[in-house]
Structure formats: C-alpha cells, structure tokens
Amino acid sequence: MFRFYAPTANKAGIKIALPIEEAHHLNRVLRLEIGAPLQVFDGCGHEHSATVVETDGANVSVLTGAAILPATEPLVHITLAMSLLKGRKMDSVVRDATMLGISKLQPLVTTHTESPNILLGRSAKNLNRWTRVAVSSTKQCGRSIIPHIEAPLSFEHFINSHGSSDELRALFVEPELRGNSQSLETMHTLSKEPAPRFAVITIGPEGGWTSGELDMARNHGFRLWTLGSRTFRSDVLPVAILSVLNFIWSDY
C-alpha cells in the first residue's frame, strides 16, 4: 500500500490536500487515479487509510478513513548530534538515522568541521533538503513520526544546552584515544543499566575532537564512549551506533 505524508491527516472522515511534492509523486510518478486506496500519516504519530477523491493537475485531495495503528516508536527518545559533513554526506545520515528511530537531529559546528562558513551559508537550503530526506525515509520505513531537524549549533552552545538529569549524554571518540584515558567507556556498560527516557548521542567531524571539546563535554556530564578499535567514516558511524543502541534498548 502506498504511503503519503499529509501533515493535516490527524483524524478520519476529512478531505485533505496533499503537499505539492506528495501530490506530484501520486499524480505524475505513480499515476494513481480517483478511487485508489492509500495510507496517509501526519508525521506526528497519526496514520489513516485514505482514498483519492480529486486529481486536478498539481493538486491532489484524499478522503481519510479508519485510523491505522502506527509502527511502534523506540522506547528511548534519541537526539543525534552530528558534526556537519561536506557535500551530501549528511543526507545519508538523515536517511539512515530516521529509519533507525531517532527523534531529533542536531547538526553541529565543531573546531574541525570542514568549511563551516560555506555549510552555514547554505543552512536554510540544507534544512529544507534534510527535511525532505527525513519525510521520504519515514514513508519508506513505515514510521508515522518524522524526526525534527534542528538548525546547526556551535558545539559550545549545544553542550551548554544539555544538562538534564533524566537524559543519557554520550560523546563518541576516536579509537586511538582508548589507551589514553580511564574515563572512556564502551557500549557494553549500557547492557547493565536501565534504559533512559532520553539520550543524546554526539558524533564528531572527520578530523576528530579537540582536547578542549572533550574537556567541555566531560564537564557537562557527557560520557565518552568508543566503538571498538576500528575507525569508521563519520557518515557510517551513526548507523553502527544506533543499531547497537536499538539492540541494547530492545527496539527489535
């Protein structure tokens, strides 16, 4: 059954217009006709069966039907704080992290973020594109909640904004730091702890963290973790980390 994002589809028995991009996909790509059955979700947890009732050029309207039980969301609300990556690497991070159940993505500007001024100059354009990627990934994976994509923050601003006692705060470091500090942990420790309600998972840039950033994180209650002895690409690391967390916190 085809699924479409419709932000006003929060109850049964209402006629709603699909967003332009969704209407184009239904009308021009899938070529669905009046009477075709489909499913719509509002991105906030509501999902309904629906029927196409109007196709007029770029405009498509559907009539919502019975509510559908949405896919189960993870028990832990995860914020993925990710240093900005060059090119379209962030697109794959958004796509995969959405499928793996994050609640929010917080892009970061760190000391070693490459070309930060260029990336920040394209912030509005990037946010729009990342939101579209998140919508598409949500449609594909069966979720009914679209993760929120925040505007980029400086690392210092981000660290200072997190101090809640009910959230787990973690920052991942490079493998070569494993032998340099007794304060580094592995994810094995989580299997012995109760699952938190909220978690902030922080991943650095391709150039790694500075000693000042590590000290700042420690001073604000962030636990420094490693993911073993292998060095992962920054755009691959979120998939590995989130998959392990989903397993430990029994999301599967």
Q: What is the pLDDT of residues 34-68, one digit of tens each?
A: 999 999 999 999 999 999 999 987 899 999 999 99
How do the domains of the chain map onto residue ranges? 3-67, 77-248
Residue with the two structure tokens 């001024």: 117
Looking at residue 91, its amino acid is D
Give the distance, in angstroms, between the CA of residue 107 and the centroid of all CA atoms in the same chain: 10
CATH class of residue range 77-248: alpha beta
The pLDDT, as a whole number, for residue 67 is 97
Question: 190: how many CB neighbours lie within 10 A of its CB?
Answer: 20
Mapped onto helix, strand or coil, the DSSP state of residue 75 is coil
pLDDT at 178 over 70: no
Q: CA 170, 87, 43, 48 torsion: positive or negative?
A: negative
Q: How distant, in Å, are the alpha carbons of 47, 90, 106 from that of 235?
A: 31, 7, 14
pLDDT at 180 over 80: no
Q: How far apart are CA 31 and CA 245, in angstroms?
A: 40
Q: How far apart are CA 8 and CA 4, in angstroms?
A: 12
Edge-to-edge strands, sheet with 3-5: 3-5, 37-41, 47-56, 59-67, 15-17
The CATH label, of 3.40.50.20, 3.40.50.11400, 3.40.50.620, 2.40.240.20, for the domain at 3-67 is 2.40.240.20
Question: Which of the residue ranges 21-30, 120-129, 151-160 would you say has the lowest mean pLDDT?
Answer: 120-129
Mean pLDDT of the region 164-171: 85
The pLDDT, as a whole number, for residue 32 is 94
Reading the block at residue 193, the tokens are: 């702890």
Taking only the tens place, the pLDDT of each residue in 214-244 is 999 999 999 999 887 788 888 899 999 999 9
Interior angle at CA 216, CA 87 and CA 179, nearest 5: 85
Which of 240, 171, 182, 238 has its CA nearest to residue 210? 171
Mean pLDDT of the region 165-171: 88
Residues 53/14, Cβ–Cβ less than 8 Å: no
Question: 91: how many CB neighbours lie within 10 A of its CB?
Answer: 18
Q: How far apart are CA 150 and CA 104, in angstroms?
A: 7
